């Protein structure tokens, strides 16, 4: 993984646990792994500006708690967060997941479980970033359309032909054809199919859930923290 391909951020107060996870994650792969002894150290290093995977202990030393750190990154679509804890109340677990954490991991951390979990999350993160890039490109190309052309594109996407579109917008079929040609030119589309692909890319990405919630590292075969 290159420097631009996402970072792995470890915010783990225990030095032994931190070192064990760091060594295993950094082994045999071109990936950027950064480790910190506290949430405050992570924030001070401004590492939060980089997207990727964040693994933090729920109990943090210093002024910035695990809850405060989750609050700081809330809404970040470019970060997938995991929280490790030994014991949690039901309310704490619910608050963590509602705050946007991807999953809960049992502590003390098993470095091999961490590696499996993080590698699966990295695959998800990379696909998420590819989808976001496709969305940005499609949205930029469709931004060149006029409001009328966007209306017509919506009608084409709904399966309407030129005559039906003309009736809907009180236009002549010839005017609809002119608009369609203009839409393709403005969006740089070689065909109506490509134009529709751009439209559906924007539509689907807008409806996509950005941070699905799981519990207990089920995909990685781990157990949830005890409640």
| Residues 44, 110 within the same domain | yes
Q: By residue range, what is the domain housing residue 17?
A: 3-131+210-220
pLDDT of residue 220: 42
- Within 10 A of 26 (CB to CB), how many other CB atoms are there? 14
Query: What's the rounded Cα separation, in Å, for the pair 38 and 15?
Result: 11
CATH number, residue 184? 1.10.10.10
Mean pLDDT of all residues in 39-68: 89
Residue 225 counted as domain residue? no
- Same structural domain for residues 93 and 186? no
Task: Calculate the average pLDDT of the chain.
Answer: 86
Q: By percentage, how much of the chain surpasses pLDDT 70? A: 85
Q: What is the pLDDT of residue 227?
A: 59
- Helix (H/G/I), strand (E/B), else coil: 7: strand
Answer yes or no: is 67 within a domain: yes
Residue 68 pLDDT level (bands cut at 50, 70, 90): very high
In a domain, 101, yes or no: yes
Residue 227 lies in a domain: no
User: What is the average per-residue pLDDT within 190-194?
Assistant: 92
Average pLDDT over residues 29-44: 90
pLDDT at residue 40 in the model: 95
* Predicted pLDDT of residue 3: 40
**pLDDT at residue 42 in the model:** 94
Confidence grade of residue 213 (pLDDT, cut at 50, 70, 90): very low
Q: What is the CATH number of the domain that holds 46?
A: 3.40.50.2300
Long-range CB pairs of 60-68, under 8 A, 24+ apart, other chains included: 60/11, 60/13, 61/13, 61/37, 62/38, 64/38, 64/39, 64/40, 65/39, 66/39, 66/96, 67/95, 67/96, 67/99, 68/39
Number of domains in the chain: 2
């Amino acid at each position: 993984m290159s420097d631009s391909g996402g970072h792995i951020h470890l915010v783990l107060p225990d030095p032994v646990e931190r070192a064990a996870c760091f060594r295993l994650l950094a082994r045999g792969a071109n990936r950027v792994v950064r480790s910190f002894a506290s949430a405050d150290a992570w924030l001070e290093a401004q590492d939060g500006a980089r997207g990727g995977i964040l693994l933090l202990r729920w109990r943090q030393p210093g002024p910035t708690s695990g809850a405060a750190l989750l609050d700081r990154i809330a809404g970040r679509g470019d970060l997938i967060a995991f929280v490790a804890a030994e014991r949690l109340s039901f309310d704490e677990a619910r608050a963590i997941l509602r705050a946007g954490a991807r999953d809960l991991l049992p502590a003390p951390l098993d470095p091999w479980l961490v590696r499996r979990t993080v590698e699966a999350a990295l695959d998800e993160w990379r696909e998420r970033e590819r989808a976001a890039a496709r969305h940005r490109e499609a949205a930029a190309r469709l931004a060149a359309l006029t409001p009328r052309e966007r209306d017509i594109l919506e009608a084409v996407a709904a399966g309407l032909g030129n005559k039906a579109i003309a009736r809907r917008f009180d236009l002549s079929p010839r005017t609809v054809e002119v608009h369609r040609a203009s839409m393709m030119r403005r969006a740089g589309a070689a065909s109506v199919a490509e134009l529709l692909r751009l439209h559906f890319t924007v539509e689907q990405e807008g409806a996509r859930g950005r941070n699905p919630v799981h519990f207990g590292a089920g995909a990685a075969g781990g157990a949830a923290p005890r409640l």
